[in-house]
Structure formats: C-alpha cells, structure tokens
Structure 1
C-alpha cells in the first residue's frame, strides 16, 4: 500500500509516515545494518515518566526449626545490610553482617557474628554522573600478546611449481595462514587470493626470499604455482589431535591458559575491581572482513609493544612490556575509557582495549544510549511533521535534508559518511551515489550498495510519491554515475540540524528509537497466556520484527538443513514413543478405541519405516552415549591411579541395548505393544508426550523463521534491554531464556532497575 503524504496543510496530523511496503526482496545477505521496510504504528508524542528506582531495604527474617529432641536445632538469620554512599567514587559500599546460631557440644546455643564488605556499586541509581571524567584512579596489567611463531616441522614445506621451498620464518608464518584455511570459501575467493599473495611476496622480499633444498634462490611470481597442500595436511592433523585429547588433557591446558590470562582480566577502577574486555592483542593472520570486502585476504601484521599506547592512572606501576621492548607511549588520560590502543595496518583504524561489557563504564554508555532514544519520543512527532513539510520546500538543500531524514527514519538507513580512496566503498544515506538508486514509476526505488562492513544492501521498496519525485530530481542531468545523490548534505550537517530539536540527537538515535518502539508495540500484542515455550516463541517473533526493520540479516547456515533434519528426527522419536504408549493403553483396555476414537486418530502418523528408523537411531545414540561414558569413566579412574573398568562391562550394556532394539522392531512389525503400568499413568505419559511434540514443533518453526534473521544484533545493540526484563517479569519467563549469560552480565543494570510496569 502506498505511503500517505503528510503535507504542510496537515498540521494537526502528527501520525508518523507509513513505512513503505516491500515490493521485492532482491537479495538478502549477511547484513546487520542495511534495513528493509516495516510499517510503524502511531506513537504518542507524550512521553511516560521514567519509573523511580526502588531503594534497597533491609529485612531480617528468622527461620525457626522445630525438633522433638531436647536440644534446639541451629537457627540461621539472614543477612542484615547497611548501605553507605561514597560521594567521591560514586560507589555503593555494602557492609554485610552474618548472624549464626549453632548448637555446641554441651548443648548450649552459641551466637556468632561476622562482617564482610563487598562492592555493589549501583551506578544507575546515581543521578550526578560526569561525562567528562571517566575515572579517578585506574590500575591494570596491560595487554596480553599472542605467542611467538613456532616454525613448522622441516618436512612440512610449501611447494612452488612442484619444487619444495624453504621459507624464512616470517614468510612461512604467512604461508601457513593461507595453508590452514585452504579448503574454506575465503581461500577460494579470487580477491582473497590476490591480496594474500601480494602481501606474502612483500614479506618474502623483506625476510630474504625462498630457497630450494640446495640453497638456491627461488623466485615466487605466480600464485597458481604455489602448493600449500602439505601445510593444510599438517594443520588438519593438529586439529584432529586436539579433538582426540582426553577431557583431563583439555582441562589441564585450559587451567594453564586461565592462569596466564588471569592478571589481564581485571583492573582496578576507582578502587573497584572491574572486568577488562578484549585484553588480548589480536594475533597476526589474514583479514577476512564481512561481505564483499575489497581488502579480504590482506595480512594483519603482528602488533609490537612499540605500537601500543598504554593509558593508566598516575602514581601506579606501569605494566612491564615484553623483554627487550618498550611501550610506544604511556598516558594518564581520565577523560577516555580505554586502557590501551594501537593502529592496525589493514584500514589504519585504531583498536582499543576497553572495559568488559558488564563493567560500569560500558553499562553507563549503554544506559545513556537508550535514555537518549527514550528522550527522542518527546520530539519525534515534531521532527516528522517538519521533514514532511520540507519534502516540498523550494530550497533544494531543505528538500535533500528532508528526503534523507525520511530514508533514515522510515527505511532505517544509516547516515553514512565520507570514505578515503584506500577504504572499502561502503555508503550510507548521505553518501548514496547516482548508481546506487534505480527509479521505477510510479514510486518504486531499488537500492543497491555496500553498507556497513561491506555487506551488500539490495532492496526494492515503495516510497511516498513526494520522496520518489525528489529522488528523481536529485538524479536529474547533468548528474551521472559517480555523483552524489545528496550533493548538498553530509551527516555532520544533518546531525547539527537534529540538535535543534534535542541536545545530543544524531541520525543514529533513530535506529535505536524505532527498534525499541517497534519491540514495545510488538510485546504489547502478546497475550499473557500459555507455556513458557509458547511465550518465548512469541517473544522471538517480536524480536524478529525488529531485526527485519533494521535488516539484521544473516546468511543461512550451511548446516541449517542438517540441523533442521535432526530436530525433525527427534520429533519423530517422541511421536513414536507416544504411539508405543497408546498401544500399551489399547493392550490394557481395548475398548478405549471405540470409547475415545479421537485419542487414537494419530496412531498411523508415522509409517513402519519411520518407526524403524526411530528405533535404530535410538540404538545408535544410546550405544554412542554409553561408549563415551565408559571411556570418560576409565580416563578418570586412570587419572586417579585406579583400575579401569573391564571392556566386558561395556559389551554387556551394548548387548542389552541391542536386545531392547530387537523388541522395539518386533513391536513395530506386529503393531502391538505389551501394556505395562496402569491406564492412568499411561494417559498422563501420553499427555506429556503430546505437549512435548507441540513444543518441539513450535520451536522448529521458530528456528526456520529465524534462519536468515540475526536476532542477537538488535537484542544487544538496538532494543532497550529493560523491555526484555519487563517481558520476563510480567510474563513469568525466566530471564535466562531471553538473555544469554553474556547479555545478563552486560545488562545487569536493566535487570535490577526495571520491573513489569516499566515503560519505554
């Protein structure tokens, strides 16, 4: 349906512009940021007040336990808490007093008190946060460098034109990067191959060149003559050896790795322990990029300490760089929230070591982002009304600005920005060029460009007639391929204009606002009924609506079909078990078939072949499970220097499983199952199995619906997490079902501050 135009005469109509309908999805790729179109419901221009955070209260409960003995049982009292505010650090210091009553040997009750102190720091309850000062004291252990390169065995060589060649270690490492991924799609990409080979030759030249076994120089000029198969085989062997490690060996390796990483994982921020995020320096390797990135395959060089700037508080020990090296610079800048930085060589962009997602500083940043989106609710109707008027402005600049605002608001396009000649040709709304837009009357626009992360955005949409007319004007001759559509506009000008409506408002706030508003509207449509699994499917459908709005697409996994097939197999196995239980019912009470025909109308849901396949799969899975358990148990016994179990024990179990399988196959062939137990218990079991089948089929549909949509991006970055917390508390859905452990840590502030009455 064509979008309605709001003209300057419609001053009383503050309804947001309709999101134009999608005419045709040309091609969806793994694009987290290039949006498709979705209709947005009418919003109120009056914001609802933010809920007040409930202050912590302390209660003391005494748990009484009665006993028939003369002695009184121990009585435990819950924690009593006193809270003090530290105005300097804006920190909540929690003093915990633990009271215990225990019965001594003499029968008398003894009282004990212990006091502990712990940091609780509920920063979201503090209204006076200073944006200009990120920290007062900061102490950390620096960064963790990747291990030095370990040369390959002398027998593992790259071949050139059939001749094994010896490479300097620096060049061998780069060749190994390609060899390790020889059978991947990346390594088969011509752009990846070209970029890799150019950088490989440069490193080869820097490090002394290749030689044959006799020490003669070998000129490596053609990629097609390079043979990395021996390297690939070596790395595959290493991968298989790693997989074959025992659980104890893997556990020991992990423990050693954790011990090395431990000092880097935390820092002291204003005297509090905080988690550090990406404390590891990126190891060297081949750049992959997302989508059709022009620099895919280029060498990410090893980062040296001399390239790194350390940021740390004054008067505390500066972390020691690796032996023989020194830091590029040491700063004491408390106006920034990073611990270290360096320039990477692919795009010459800056990489930062930041606080972890669950840290207070990162939490504050997220909180302010979502609060900014909530504030936009007060102004969005006015902004939309103004840009609808300016779509017909006589001033070309105003028309371009209004059209760009329409695309950013209604199509959820990013604002975009200028790119250098050596950067990927990615664009946003303001940097769209003549060739990125194709117009088809009456009002169909085809967009085709590389969005953020070089992900192709190729979409045909229906826009309002006035927007179509404006785009046709913006493409009018003498404009040609390579010319900007919005030649009088750039993101900085647009953002400056937006700040006239609201301090700090930028174009990107609209994506957060529209995503959260859409989620809020979708959740309001969900009835508070059904099982947790049913509610979860409906929540995912709401989340999916937001992902589609923001076009957070992903490529369907190569293993998706296999994964769906396994779920369908599991559903069939439950259906088969349901058939067995119903046959048991009929064996115990044959008259039920005539008394309750509906209960047995699905007896032939599976064919004999499908039931047989289910029985055989069950045998295979159970045999594998028991075999692995037997091997794990024996590994543990050997590690504890005990005698392992005899193989005969496993063989006996496998024989039992095979005998059970024979019985199942006999049941399937005869279409009869011997009744065991009572009719009541069998009925109850049938009901459970039917509920389980319904739930599994619902989850399968949810999985298929989400196969090409990335729900995580919108949930992590665009949907206000307090909406998810509200849903959890209002609909009695465990937060663990909605947020992963990582997101629960990241959004702890939302989990503790929002309730079922919270309003976006």
Structure 2
C-alpha cells in the first residue's frame, strides 16, 4: 500500500490537532489485518487488574496520564442557555455545573515513601490482580478465574438477548390481539351479512369461537364487576344498623397506612415538565458569623505573634484549625493555593501588625506558624467533647428547634423533607482525588447571591436583617428550592428535597424503570454496533467502538458528573495517551476518571475493536489528539434515542448492573445462617462490581480493620481453650475421655500473645467500669442529686484486680477454675459450641470484608443495582432488609421496599 493511502484517514483539524477523515479506505483495514492478524473473534474479557495504581507519571508520553493538563474544548453544554433550559432534560434534578467543563492542571500523585515497594520503579508497578476471594470463588478451582467470569458474562449477555426477543414477541402478540379485539368490536354495528368472514381457529380439531360479536347485544353477558367496584356501587344504608365502633389507635394507624401516597403505583405521575403546582418553604439556614479569636491566640510569622484584620484572621483559622489533616497540609498544591488566596486577602486588608502597630508583610508560607491557632481549636473541641451528656442534649435540642422551620416544605399540599437546607460555611476547598484547586478559599455565601424558587401565592421568607435575596423565581419545572453559585469552580449549588422525598424517589424509580426498558432493546443495540464496528464511515465506526466500550467495560461517556471538577476523562474524550494497545487484543486504559481519581484497567477486547483503536491512533496522531475525534457525548446519546426515548450512555451502567444481579439472584437457592446469606448476597454484588468495573482504592485503614477482626477471632479461640480447661476442673476424667490433644492451646496463641491479651481484657474491663461510673455521676448531677464519691469507683474496680490475679494464677498453674453458676461439663460444652459459632460468623464477615477491599459494593448497591432486587433477596431468603440498607437508605428506597414482593422480576 502506498504511503498516501496509509495516511488517508487523517487530516488536520481546526483545533490544531489531527482529525480523522470521514471514511476508512478498505486498504487501511487490510493493512491493519496484515500487521495484527486475528485468529478468529476474541471474546471480550473483564478487568484483569483493579486500579488505581500508586504513581502516575504524567510527563512521559508512555504513561497514560494527562500530559499537558489541557484538553481541547468541546464547548460547554450550557453555552447560550439559561439555567432553566439547562435543567430541563431528564437530569433536571442535577446542578447546572454537572453539565459544564473546565480544563485544569492535573496534579502528579506523590510517592508513598513508606511503601514496601519503594525500591521498585514506580512505572513498573501495576494494580493487584483480582483474587478468587473477591468474588466468592475457591482459589483452588481448576478453571482460571478470568475464564470463569468471562464465561459467566457471556451467559448473562446471551440470556439478555433471549429475554429481549421474548419480550418483543410477547408485546407484538398482545398488540395484535388488542387490534383484533378492536376490529371485532367495530364490526358489532355492521350487519352480519356484510361482516367479513374470518376462519375460525381450531383447537384439537374442534372449531373454537373466540368472539361473541354474532350474539345480539341485549343477550351479551354484562361485564363483571370487580369487588372494589361492586363495593363502591353498593349504597351505604343510613340510620339503621349497628352503631359505629369507637375508633381505636390501631384503626387510625391502618387508616394512615391506607392514606399514604403510594406514587409508584401511578407510573404516569411526574412524567410532565411541570413538577409542582404549589410550593412553600422557609428558605435556607446560614452559618453563624465569624467570631474573632481571643487576643492571646495569634498567628506567628517569622517568630513574631501578629495581629490580623478580621477577614484575614478568619482565613488563617481555616488553615490553622485543620493541621491534624495531614493528607491536606502535606499536599504542596493545597498549601500553594491556600497561600495565594491568603496573601490576596492580606493585600486587601493591609497585612499584619505586631504588638507595637508596625506593619508586617507576610510573604513566605514557610515562615507562618499556625500552631497557636490549632491548639486553641483543639482545646475548644476537647471542651465540647467533655460537656456532660445532658448539656450536649440541650444544645442539640436548641439547634434542632432553631432549624425545624427549614427542615420541611409544603409541596403540592404535602409535607416533604428538605435535604441540604444549610448554606455551606466558608472554609478551604478540599476536592476529591487530585483536584488542582484544592486549598482554595471558599468564600462566605451571602443572601444577595441566593435565588429562591417558591410558589406565586406563597409567602417569601424574610432575608436576614440588612440583606435581601438575589432573586425570587416561580419555576414550576425545577425541583430546587434555592440556588447560588460558588466561587471555586463557578458551580451552581442547589437546595433540593431529601433523598426519601416523593420527588427524589420518583427520580430513582424512573432511572431504574428506564434500565428495565433497555432490556427490550439491548440485543438490537448490540447487533447494530457489532455490525458498525466494520463500517467504512469513520463516525459510525467510532460511535460503535465507543458504545462497545461503554457497554462491555462500563466506561463513563464523558461530559458527565465530575467533569467540572478537574481535567477528568470519559470514553468520548479519551486522548491518544490514555490508551495503550498490546497485540493481539489487550487494551490498557490509564486516565484521570471521575473525581480526578486515576482509572487504570487492562482488558481483552474483540479483535475488530482492537483494530479500530489502532486506526483511531494512527500517525500522524500523537499525544493530546482525540481518539474519538468524530464523536461527542451529545451525538452518541442522540443516536441512542433512536432505540428508545430517553436512552443515554449512562443507562447501560444501570442496566448491566441490575440485569447481572437479577440473573445471579435467580439462580440462588440459599440455606444457612443470616450472615452466610448476607455473604452470598455480597458475593453476587461483588461479581456485579467486577463485571461492571466498579472499583475503589484500598482504604488506608483496611489492614488495621482486618487485624482487629483477627484479634477478636483469636480472643474467642482463647476463650474456647479456657472453657475446655474449665471442663477439666469440673471433671478431671474428661481429659482422658476426649484426649490430651483436645485441650491443647492453639499453637499461634503463644505465651506472649496470651499475656498481652489478658492485659487488654483487664484494661477493657477497667475502662468499661470507669465510663459507667462517670455516666451515672453525670445523670445524678443533671437530676440535682448528690454525686458518688471516688471511693465507690475504687470498690467497683476491685473486680478488675481480681481478674488480673486470676489470670496470673492461671498462667502459673496451667489450670482454670470453672466460672458461672453450677458449672457442668454439658453447660461448658454448650458454651464452646456458641463460641465456635461466633468464630465462624466472624470468619465469614472477615472474608467478606477482605473480598470487598478493592471492589466498590456500595457504588453498585446504591447507584446501579435496582434496589427492588435487594428487597426481593431480603424477602425471599428471610434476611432483614436492615442488613443491606442503613436507615438513610431505607428511607431513600422506601418505594422499593413497599412496592415489590419476592416474586418481582427485573
């Protein structure tokens, strides 16, 4: 092939980058096949490794980070649009900022100097491989884990294709039947002689009459009344009859339950653009004004305590109060951004003064000593923590009373809980991941910045004294109560209803119903994009490849939530440097994803997809150029709406997670204890998280948590051993009966461990008794009664001294005296069984926790798996829903808990 043909698909774009031509010559396809021949179709795999990794070298082209910190602008999604227009999509509940994009410098992740891998070149490190424990599989299985999961994924996708065809066939049959019925009914008024004769259907050789259209109307049976209609039609007799019973509390509760607004039973509710008719609320709660530090507490600059103007001092306290947050104050970007904003305030307020009134210019961050401020805040925190329980309770009650009017609004005559009615206080912006603006000063929000949304007939809440609201709107298409723009990213902040409100519930319900709707079309979508992977038209091939990646590997489309926070990337905005191709079919993704967290993934892809990506990266494309240069998120989503209304790229994540979970739950037949059932559910959830690429970084505290759990298990094992020795104390002959081996102490619980554990038990007992004594004294004081004397505590602690003596004696003699009332061998044997059961339960919990360390089960369960599936599992296997949903989530998913039974199917 000539060089001119080789370069044909590429042209220079207007944005000074390389852009592909609109068509792909067949010669280019053939050339690619020669370079990387395919041995048949390679089935797409799953994530081979769990990211993100520790270090990200963004300066080297070979590393798939963000190289130059800048991305070509694709234009803001809200350009030239009002806030109202920007929020009128099916994402209208989300802030406008979620549709904006900013281009910001990505920060290099610092090396962890304490890492045991510190001697290994950072670029050579990779995330840990998925372990069998992470999906509840035995590690000694003969089938490789990745093969097993890929096969399972293929089966789930085949089931989806079968289900989609079955649903469409059923719907078509229903539609035809309905059409026949309508035609039949329309013939009723036509003379029989003129009606078309239809051949009667045969059933087992007998002609079957399906319609009664030939029967005279007057002889037709009247339609049957339902029980509800019959009762409604029956007139209520007045006057005579039994006297009405007096209404009981139980009757009222039943009545309240009946009157509950079960909006999920009316799927049409909330489909229109008008969200409310009447809306009343009391506005927002502002943070308290700044209170200056005591005169003795000052910032120290270059060894000299200095006096700051009030606004500058407030900013100094933002930093000084958080010296304990090492993750921030040891971050160079955080410190640089803070000091830039701090010096800007200092320039406006005249910098600092010493005790004699001389001006001191603060120019260097490393000369600032914030410790006196930190120590004052720490003392205040300790003082607040040490308050008596009664005083804490009184303070909380006073706060709740002051905020009570803001906690609820009246929405279409119904009382609804408001979510975030408090305006965020000023402070330092921290951000998520490696945010380039971390450390910037978040300014105080004033009433003049706040727009309220309220009904026309409602009373507008008063602004704080001396202030006024920015604007009052009556936007019935918006679900927000108040909004303002913050100064860090220019993002709009909204006061919305609480997660358990009808409006929020309806939003979740519609989201999952949309995913259920997708199951009818998923097979057609997949066949279409598989065909278009070979399209000669570049735009079609890029779109098909993008949908493939979004569907198979759960990549975010881009231009979604999080893009306004930093230089983050989605599928449509992938750059040349973000993917590495390893023949024959491995693709490595490496970029800053949502919340500026590094996304690293190695996957096996279809051979045609691999070839397409190679074409999309073809020279002269280089670092900084778009992979999908003929595709935008909006054009992708517009294409998807051809399959079903409202379908967007992000629906695939919800559908794939929910459909996968539904298939896994369908095959479950569980027995055993509740913890074992919970583990089975988590194992299924874990498979969903891995198959759908929901990952997280291992928490820094994970190893400590596992160690603590293991210590608790060892403590129970120690207790089992002590109980066995008590059996010998009760019946010395038992040792011969059961054998000496039965009474041996576990080898790993050596003398040193036993001594440390005993000391810990003694200390724990001492703390428990002391705390109880202090709590009782606080109660006596609150009730105005005389407090107990320290002597009482000393007497109570005697039991601790006795325990220490007992352990000392046991260690010396090797014998344990039987404890409890009337100890017998049978009783002690029963105690051992209970302890062993507790050990087994804790082991299950520990395995579960270890398996979850790199998999974001919460992300799957809360955001992507239809909550009704969790409810089905709970009801089907008699596991309390509290084991899966916290109180907050039970309120959020109240509609799911009340709307389905164990037979519901996604």
Q: TM class, shorter-chain normalised? A: 0.7 to 0.9
Task: Tell me, in whole angstroms, the C-alpha distance in 1 between the residues paired with 2:564 and 2:901.
Answer: 49
Deviates more, 1:256-265 or 1:245-254: 245-254
1:685 to 819, 831, 843: 831
1:451 to 580, 589, 593: 593
Task: Tell me, in whole angstroms, the C-alpha distance in 2 between the residues paired with 1:598 and 1:390.
Answer: 73
* Structure 2 CA distance for partners of 1:531 and 1:668, relative to 1, 3 Å: farther
Provide, for residues 419-460 of structure 1, a one-character-per-residue CA deviation record: whole Å limited to 9, x for no partner.
999962111000011111122222222212111111111222
The Cα shift of 1:661 comes to: 2.8
- 1:207 equivalent to 2:349? Answer yes
SS at match of 1:458: strand
1:487 to 600, 609, 629: 629
Partner of 1:143: 284
Task: Tell me, in whole angstroms, the C-alpha distance in 2 between the residues paired with 1:272 and 1:525.
Answer: 42
* Structure 2 CA distance for partners of 1:669 and 1:354, relative to 1, 3 Å: same
Residues 293 and 424 in structure 1, CA contact (< 8 A), matched pair in contact too: yes
* Structure 2 CA distance for partners of 1:29 and 1:238, relative to 1, 3 Å: farther
Partner of 2:813: 670
The Cα shift of 1:490 comes to: 0.4
Gapped runs of 5+ residues in structure 1?
A: 1-15, 51-82, 85-95, 102-110
- 1:250 equivalent to 2:275? Answer no
- 1:27 equivalent to 2:168? Answer no
Partner of 1:472: 614
Task: Tell me, in whole angstroms, the C-alpha distance in 2 between the residues paired with 1:153 and 1:461.
Answer: 59
The Cα shift of 1:30 comes to: 13
Alignment of 1:71-470 (within 5 A): 99-100=247-248, 120-131=260-271, 132-183=273-324, 184-417=326-559, 424-470=566-612
The Cα shift of 1:542 comes to: 2.0
Task: Tell me, in whole angstroms, the C-alpha distance in 2 between the residues paired with 1:312 and 1:221.
Answer: 48
Deviates more, 1:665-674 or 1:449-458: 665-674
* Structure 2 CA distance for partners of 1:229 and 1:685, relative to 1, 3 Å: same
Partner of 1:9: none
Alignment of 1:498-537 (within 5 A): 498-537=640-679
Task: Tell me, in whole angstroms, the C-alpha distance in 2 between the residues paired with 1:364 and 1:560.
Answer: 36
Residues 29 and 455 in structure 1, CA contact (< 8 A), matched pair in contact too: no
- 1:758 equivalent to 2:904? Answer yes
* Structure 2 CA distance for partners of 1:291 and 1:551, relative to 1, 3 Å: farther
The Cα shift of 1:575 comes to: 1.4
2:803 to 632, 646, 660: 660
User: How many correspondences in the alignment?
Assistant: 691
- 1:708 equivalent to 2:864? Answer no
2:876 to 708, 730, 740: 730
Provide, for residues 651-709 of structure 1, a one-character-per-residue CA deviation record: whole Å limited to 9, x for no partner.
12211222123213322433322345122222211111100011112212222222333
Task: Tell me, in whole angstroms, the C-alpha distance in 2 between the residues paired with 1:190 and 1:173.
Answer: 22
Residues 98 and 115 in structure 1, CA contact (< 8 A), matched pair in contact too: no
The Cα shift of 1:555 comes to: 3.6
Task: Tell me, in whole angstroms, the C-alpha distance in 2 between the residues paired with 1:695 and 1:598.
Answer: 27
Provide, for residues 280-337 of structure 1, a one-character-per-residue CA deviation record: whole Å limited to 9, x for no partner.
1111111111111111111111111111110111211111111111111111111111
Partner of 1:570: 712
Provide, for residues 212-257 of structure 1, a one-character-per-residue CA deviation record: whole Å limited to 9, x for no partner.
3222332222222222122122222222222222222221221111
SS at match of 1:729: helix
* Structure 2 CA distance for partners of 1:598 and 1:385, relative to 1, 3 Å: farther
Residues 137 and 313 in structure 1, CA contact (< 8 A), matched pair in contact too: yes
CA RMSD of aligned residues (A): 3.0
Residues 42 and 605 in structure 2, CA contact (< 8 A), matched pair in contact too: no
Normalized against structure 1, the TM-score is what?
0.86
Task: Tell me, in whole angstroms, the C-alpha distance in 2 between the residues paired with 1:336 and 1:224.
Answer: 48
Residues 355 and 361 in structure 1, CA contact (< 8 A), matched pair in contact too: yes
The Cα shift of 1:473 comes to: 0.7
Task: Tell me, in whole angstroms, the C-alpha distance in 1 between the residues paired with 2:675 and 2:841.
Answer: 7
The Cα shift of 1:112 comes to: 12
SS at match of 1:44: helix
SS at match of 2:568: coil
SS at match of 2:468: coil
* Structure 2 CA distance for partners of 1:381 and 1:419, relative to 1, 3 Å: closer
The Cα shift of 1:371 comes to: 0.5
Residues 306 and 325 in structure 1, CA contact (< 8 A), matched pair in contact too: yes
Residues 608 and 669 in structure 1, CA contact (< 8 A), matched pair in contact too: no
Provide, for residues 568-602 of structure 1, a one-character-per-residue CA deviation record: whole Å limited to 9, x for no partner.
22222211221122222233344444544599276
Deviates more, 1:303-312 or 1:535-544: 535-544
Deviates more, 1:418-427 or 1:211-220: 418-427
Partner of 2:5: none
* Structure 2 CA distance for partners of 1:115 and 1:295, relative to 1, 3 Å: closer
Normalized against structure 2, the TM-score is what?
0.72
Task: Tell me, in whole angstroms, the C-alpha distance in 2 between the residues paired with 1:22 and 1:112.
Answer: 56
* Structure 2 CA distance for partners of 1:665 and 1:697, relative to 1, 3 Å: farther
More strand by share: 1
The Cα shift of 1:18 comes to: 4.8
The Cα shift of 1:161 comes to: 2.4
* Structure 2 CA distance for partners of 1:469 and 1:442, relative to 1, 3 Å: same
Task: Tell me, in whole angstroms, the C-alpha distance in 1 between the residues paired with 2:563 and 2:805.
Answer: 70
Partner of 2:781: 638
The Cα shift of 1:507 comes to: 0.1
SS at match of 1:382: helix
Provide, for residues 394-428 of structure 1, a one-character-per-residue CA deviation record: whole Å limited to 9, x for no partner.
11111100110111111100000299999621110
Q: Which has the larger radius of gyration?
A: 2
Task: Tell me, in whole angstroms, the C-alpha distance in 1 between the residues paired with 2:649 and 2:733.
Answer: 71
